[in-house]
């Protein structure tokens, strides 16, 4: 059973099942249109080229016919000039010498000969016969007729092949007579309608070509020409020989036939011709005005023309374009299928990641809760150690005032108190880090001016030491953590400043569309570039001897708070050039809901 070609519904299902994007379908459509357009354009160009080749062959043949007839006309007028140069008439011997010098058979292929026809008026016939018989005793005029006009052929060369024409009175037959009289009255060369030459044994169509000569000098008018008309220089033609001498059929890819007023005088459209094309690519009929006659020429192309102008370029373009189109379609379908599989795989991976993310988030929350509770629980023993140390210090006050008191004991107890304070700060810092991003109260708009006043008060800064700039008056998203981030950055700027009394801190908040861009800049000692990453890690500090103690958790809290909103903290600083901490903050979307450890205390 033959499989039917997919219909519109099948293609629709194929496109739907393959999830081929609309843009790919448009690409396919445009590519197919370009292929078809290239094929149509190439076909049109090929057709034009072939048609131009036919027109060139047609024009060449028609031009050769016209040019050859003009050349024969020149020969006739040369004969007229020869007659006039001999006083208006020539003898048999003089014409023979002229024709031999003209070399008709060599210079004018296709012509049967060239001769003189004399006009014999009433009362001149006997004198004419005596003159001709003095040259050739056997000369006679034929056939007899009743016309008053006599136009006998006196000479023709070469005579051996045209002997039957010598003495023929062309006035006996209408076609010959009509063209001869038309030539005499107009003074122009004329040809006859189709005739059969008496010297043509095959009796094929031919014609006579006339050019008149006159005895008088004034031949400007019709009357003067009729009065002084002496005769004609003429040439007989067999059309078949004329065309054979014109252009060999073997050299042409077009064949033609010639008709004169419906009478076929020459025909090359022979079904027996090996080059005959029963369905020619081009045919055209051309009318050619030829010395008073209208020849209708029927041009047709041959098999040779078809073979010489059979261009496969348009077909190759179409086939190549369709092959490329098929490859493109196959590639797009494979891409669509691959994309579909990739999306399915991505969906599975995304689902797995979401499940793992949920588990990881849950584990992280449990870990943070554990860290928070552990740090909280550590406060009790640390607090007890601190209390016990204070009690020991109070009990030994009298001992420390005595002369024999050991100073090492007081120093060790002071060192224990210092470490207890350090431990309290560390556990508090860990609890804050674990609690970052989570708070129990709902977000309320944070007034930045009021926040700046609070920071000045908390860190003992003058109004000129902490300045607030920018085009934002308040923050509405996750305000609790925003305040802690800014507080940590300002606190660090004060704590690690070489001279806190001269510290100058600038907080700038700018509206950046969907976010706020924040900068906290100070004029402190700065931070070397190699430490810019390290300072954001938990428990990492760049404290030098003599500087305040630090837990190394403050900047880690800053980093964690900013990153949970999808942004990052950057540091622009170098040693001795202050520090500029920059980060972005969302305009909307407050922090996560409160976690259980936020209520533990």
Say if CB 438 and CB 592 are below 8 A apart: yes
Handedness of CA 300, 306, 309, 313 (dihedral sign): positive
Q: Which two structure tokens, joined as six digits, stand for 173?
A: 């037959």
Which ranges of the chain have pLDDT less than 70? Answer: 1-21, 218, 245-250, 311-313, 363-380, 382, 419-443, 538-552, 589-601
518: Cα within 13 Å, side-chain hemisphere: 26
- The neighbouring-strand residues paired with 582 are 519, 570
Alpha carbon distance 515, 568 (integer Å): 13
Residues whose CB falls within 8 Å of the CB of residue 591, separated by 6 or more in sequence, listed in order: 437, 438, 439, 443, 478, 480, 481, 564
Say if CB 454 and CB 491 are below 8 A apart: no
- Note if the bond before 273 is cis, omega within 30 degrees: no
Phi, psi of 157 (to 5 degrees): -130, 140
Position 596 scores a pLDDT of 38
What are the structural domain ranges in the chain? 66-242, 246-308, 314-434, 441-599
Smallest CA-to-CA distance from 253 within 16, 55, 506 is with 55
> Quick one: how far is CA 505 from the chain centroid?
61
Say if CB 586 and CB 477 are below 8 A apart: yes
Position 428 scores a pLDDT of 58
Q: Which two structure tokens, joined as six digits, stand for 549?
A: 């103690």
Bridge-based pairing state of the strands 205-214 and 190-191 = antiparallel
CATH code of the domain made up of 441-599: 3.30.565.10
The 466-470 sheet, strands edge to edge: 466-470, 505-511, 515-522, 579-586, 570-573
Handedness of CA 428, 431, 437, 439 (dihedral sign): negative
Work out the burial of residue 269: count CB atoms within 10 Å of its CB; fewer than 13 is exposed, 13-18 middle, 19 or more buried.
middle
Smallest CA-to-CA distance from 491 within 527, 455, 437, 465 is with 455
- Note if the bond before 158 is cis, omega within 30 degrees: yes
Question: What CA dihedral angle connects 142, 144, 149 and 152, to 10 degrees?
Answer: 0
Local structure of residue 500 (DSSP, 8 states): G
Smallest CA-to-CA distance from 326 within 39, 35, 5 is with 35
Residue whose entry in the numeric block shows the structure tokens 């109004």: 463
Where b means 16+ CB within 10 Å and e means fewer, 351-370 reads eeeeeeeeeeeeeebeebbe
Work out the burial of residue 301: count CB atoms within 10 Å of its CB; fewer than 13 is exposed, 13-18 middle, 19 or more buried.
buried
Smallest CA-to-CA distance from 171 within 182, 160, 161, 163 is with 182
Architecture of the structural domain at 314-434: Orthogonal Bundle (1.10)
The fourth-level CATH superfamily of domain 66-242 is CHASE domain (3.30.450.350)
Position 122 scores a pLDDT of 86
Q: Phi-psi region for residue 167, left (φ > 0), alpha (ψ -120 to 50) or beta? A: left
Beta carbons within 10 angstroms of residue 44's beta carbon: 11
Smallest CA-to-CA distance from 303 within 249, 253, 268 is with 253
Alpha carbon distance 53, 462 (integer Å): 100
Longest dimension (CA), the chain: 192
Alpha carbon distance 550, 129 (integer Å): 154
Helices (H), 86-199: 92-102, 104-107, 125-135, 174-186
Q: For 410-453, where are the E strands, in sequence order?
A: 446-447
């Amino acid at each position: 059973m033959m499989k039917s070609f997919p219909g519109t519904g099948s293609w629709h299902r194929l496109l739907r099942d393959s999830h081929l994007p609309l843009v790919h379908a448009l690409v396919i459509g445009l590519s197919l249109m370009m292929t078809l357009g290239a094929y149509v354009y190439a076909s049109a160009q090929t057709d034009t080229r072939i048609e131009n080749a036919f027109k060139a062959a047609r024009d060449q043949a028609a031009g050769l016919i016209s040019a050859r007839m003009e050349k024969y006309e020149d020969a006739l007028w040369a004969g007229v000039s020869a007659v006039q140069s001999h006083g208006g008439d020539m003898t048999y011997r003089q014409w023979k010498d002229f024709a031999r010098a003209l070399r008709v058979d060599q210079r004018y292929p296709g012509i049967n000969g060239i001769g003189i026809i004399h006009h014999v008026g009433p009362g001149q016939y006997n004198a004419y016969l005596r003159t001709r018989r003095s040259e050739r005793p056997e000369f006679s005029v034929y056939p007899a007729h009743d016309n008053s006009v006599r136009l006998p052929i006196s000479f023709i060369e070469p005579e051996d092949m045209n002997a039957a024409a010598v003495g023929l009175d062309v006035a006996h037959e209408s076609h010959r007579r009509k063209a001869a009289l038309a030539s005499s009255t107009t003074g122009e060369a004329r040809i006859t309608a189709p005739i059969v030459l008496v010297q043509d044994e095959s009796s094929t169509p031919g014609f006579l070509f006339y050019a008149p000569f006159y005895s008088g000098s004034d031949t400007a008018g019709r009357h003067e020409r009729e009065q002084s008309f002496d005769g004609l220089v003429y040439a007989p033609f067999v059309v078949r020989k004329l065309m054979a001498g014109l252009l060999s059929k073997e050299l042409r890819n077009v064949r033609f036939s010639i008709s004169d007023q419906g009478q076929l005088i020459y025909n090359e459209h022979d079904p027996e011709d090996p080059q005959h094309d029963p369905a020619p690519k081009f045919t055209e009929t051309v009318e050619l005005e030829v010395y008073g006659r209208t020849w209708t020429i029927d041009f047709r192309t041959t098999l040779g023309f078809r073979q010489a102008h059979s261009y496969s370029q348009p077909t190759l373009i179409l086939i190549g374009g369709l092959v490329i189109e098929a490859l493109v379609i196959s590639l797009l379908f494979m891409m669509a299928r691959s994309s579909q599989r990739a999306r399915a795989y991505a969906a599975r991976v995304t689902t797995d990641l979401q499940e793992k993310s949920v588990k990881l988030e849950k584990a992280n929350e449990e870990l943070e809760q554990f860290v928070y509770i552990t740090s909280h629980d550590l406060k009790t023993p640390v607090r007890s150690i601190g209390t016990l140390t204070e009690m020991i210090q109070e009990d030994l006050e009298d001992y420390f005032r005595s002369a024999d008191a050991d100073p090492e004991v007081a120093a060790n107890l002071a060192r224990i108190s210092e470490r207890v304070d350090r431990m309290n700060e560390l556990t508090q810092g860990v609890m804050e880090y674990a609690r970052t991003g989570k708070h129990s109260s709902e977000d309320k708009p944070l007034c930045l001016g009021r926040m700046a006043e609070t920071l000045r008060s908390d860190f003992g800064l003058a109004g000129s030491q902490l300045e607030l700039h920018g085009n934002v008056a308040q923050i509405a998203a996750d305000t609790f953590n925003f305040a802690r981030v800014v507080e940590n950055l300002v606190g660090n700027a004060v704590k690690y400043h070489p001279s806190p009394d001269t510290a100058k801190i600038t907080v700038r908040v700018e509206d950046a569309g969907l976010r706020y861009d924040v900068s906290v800049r100070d004029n402190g000692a700065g931070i070397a570039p190699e430490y810019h990453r390290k300072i954001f890690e938990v428990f990492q500090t760049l404290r030098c001897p003599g500087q305040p103690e630090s837990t190394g958790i403050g900047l880690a809290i800053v980093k964690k708070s900013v990153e949970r909103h999808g942004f990052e903290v950057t540091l622009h600083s170098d040693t001795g050039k202050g520090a500029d901490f920059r980060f972005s903050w969302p305009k909307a979307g407050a922090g996560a809901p409160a976690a259980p450890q936020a209520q533990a205390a």
